[in-house]
Structure 1
Amino acid sequence: AELKRKLALAGEPNAEVAQAEQVNGVPFFAQTYSGISGKELPSLIDEHKERLKSGVILLITESDNRVSIAAGVSSDLVDKISAVDIVRCAVPEIGGKGGGGRPDLAQGGGTDVLGVEKAISAVRSFLS
């Protein structure tokens, strides 16, 4: 598990900053993984938030025909954007319902692995 987490964070230390797209003036970083447990996403969100400094992070993993989503919002944006709302707009695209957490970190899940790109697009639209 630790090795998979390290591999997930491998690469350029500032890749999040370079890869983040601006959506309505907000840095948005989305990443998909395979074989990482949904339980590992919150710690990955924290590490990505630390690197990105300001923005919205969406991490999605597929494992055992399940899709897990986690969203993180940096502290400077949490008054305007809620991670719970982000997860709730993405989860229907992967065949899930609900989702919850805190304004800075939320999670949800579903079973439709084909809906991953739609989930990312839904969040992009939500931020627009």
Structure 2
Amino acid sequence: SRQLEEVERLVNDEILTGTEVTFRNMPLDEAKKLGAMALFGEKYGKIVRVVSVGDFSMELCGGSHVSNVGEIGSFRIISEGGIGSGVRRIEAITGKAAYEAALADRKLLAHTAELLKGKEEDIPARIEKLEAALKEAKKEVQKLKSEQARDSMGNILSKAQEKNGIPFLAAVVAADNMNELRKIADMVKDKLPGGAFILGCASGDKVNLVGMAADEAVQHGVHMGKVVSRAAKVCNGGGGGKPGKAQAGGKDVTKLEAAITEGAKAIAEMIG
């Protein structure tokens, strides 16, 4: 970034000198001795055209050029990238295009300041303040979600049943995504020793399902991979996993309750 700024400043300083651009035809060997820059991969004849901008630049080129660097007006780099080993390509705009880009930046800066309800020079500080506030808000939201999950644990565990000494349950819980659902599942697992369960949540227009089973439940025939797969089919989805842990997804949130009910039925059937 600093190098690009330096290149841009260097070129604009040269433009302000108003140096005349000169053109000379000469033998290729003579041009190379003078230090004229030749583009890699280009083919040149015995006689070449040398374009010079005072002592600032000298290159071989047959294209069209300004007669005076002042005609360029202004120079602004818009992108740069690698095109080969140790070779970078710079793209820039000049003249009216550079001026129009500067006007667009000015409008964007003014609009941003207006949205932040401050002055243009205060934009960086206001953004830093907003980022800090957002970070704290996210922490608070996560804390509240964790507390909500703990508070709802009693309601989830109230759905527990038992068969052949193995507790099991199926419940719909409040979670925004699969990651949150797994965290709730970990808490349920701690509260349901030796058991098996399937949990589901609606995340936007998608269904997330997670199933877990303790070793005791697996020994009695429970396979959570098969349980979540069976439940997911009810809500037009799929998934699976290991006997002790599995997850799945679905596309029909209106069938979430039905999927969970099917999951409970599958667990009960497996416990033998």
Answer whether contact 2:211 2:245 (CA < 8 A) is retained.
yes
Match of 2:254 among 89, 114, 117: 114
Contact 2:208 / 2:250 at 8 angstroms: preserved in 1? yes
Structure 2 equivalent of residue 70 of structure 1: 210
- CA shift, 1:15, in A, is 6.0
Q: Determine helix, strand or coil for the equivalent of 2:173.
A: strand
Residue 28 of structure 1: how far off its partner (Å)? 1.9
**Amino acid across the alignment from 2:149:** A
Matching residue's letter, 1:89 = R
Distance in structure 2 (CA, Å) of the matches to 1:12 and 1:70: 16
> CA 1:12–1:40 in structure 2 vs 1: closer, same or farther (change >3 Å)?
closer
What amino acid is aligned across from residue 168 of structure 2 in structure 1?
F
TM-score normalised by L of structure 2: 0.42
Match of 1:102 among 236, 242, 257: 242
- How much identity, in percent, do the aligned residues show? 29
Give the corresponding residue for 1:92. Answer: 233
Greater helix content:
2
Q: Is the 8 A contact 1:68 1:110 kept in 2?
A: yes
Where 1:77 maps in the other structure, the secondary structure is helix
Q: Distance in 1 between matches of 2:207 and 2:152?
A: 24
Q: Report the Cα offset of residue 63 of structure 1.
A: 1.3
Cα distance in 2 for residues equivalent to 1:43 and 1:125? 24
Secondary structure of residue in 2 paired with 1:3: helix
What is the CA distance between 1:72 and its match in structure 2?
A: 0.8
Is 1:83 the counterpart of 2:227? The answer is: no
Q: Secondary structure at the match of 1:106?
A: strand
- How many residue pairs match? The answer is 126
Distance 2:147 2:196 in 1: 21
Question: Take 2:148 and 2:227, find their aligned partners in 1: how far apart are those partners?
Answer: 26
Query: Structure 1 residues 11, 70: CA separation in 2 closer, same or farther (over 3 Å shift)?
Result: closer
1:10 matched to 2:145? The reply is no
Structure of greater relative contact order (alpha carbons < 8 Å, 6+ residues apart): 1
- Point out where structure 2 has 5 or more consecutive residues left out of the alignment: 1-141
- 2:152 and 2:258 mapped to 1: Cα distance? 26
Q: 2:178 aligns with which of 32, 38, 44?
A: 38
2:200–2:208 CA contact under 8 A, matched in 1 = yes
1:29 counterpart residue number: 169
**Could you list the per-position Cα deviations for residues 65-109 of structure 1 after superposition, in whole angstroms to 9, with x for gaps in the alignment?**
111000111121123211101101100111102x12322111000
Shift of 1:43: 2.4
Amino acid at match of 1:3: L
Using the TM superposition, give the Cα deviation of residue 54 of structure 1 relative to its aligned residue in structure 2, in angstroms. 2.1
- Distance in 1 (CA, whole Å) between partners of 2:236 and 2:154 is 33
Q: TM-score under structure 1 normalisation?
A: 0.83
Q: Larger Cα Rg: Structure 1 or Structure 2?
A: 2
Check if 1:52 corresponds to 2:169: no
Q: Give me the CA root mean square deviation.
A: 2.3
Amino acid of the structure 2 residue aligned with 1:46: D
Unaligned runs of 5+ in 1: none
Asked if 2 retains the 8 angstrom alpha-carbon contact of 1:28 and 1:57, the reply is: yes
Structure 1 stretch 22-31 or stretch 105-114: which is displaced more?
Answer: 22-31
Match of 1:125 in 2: 265
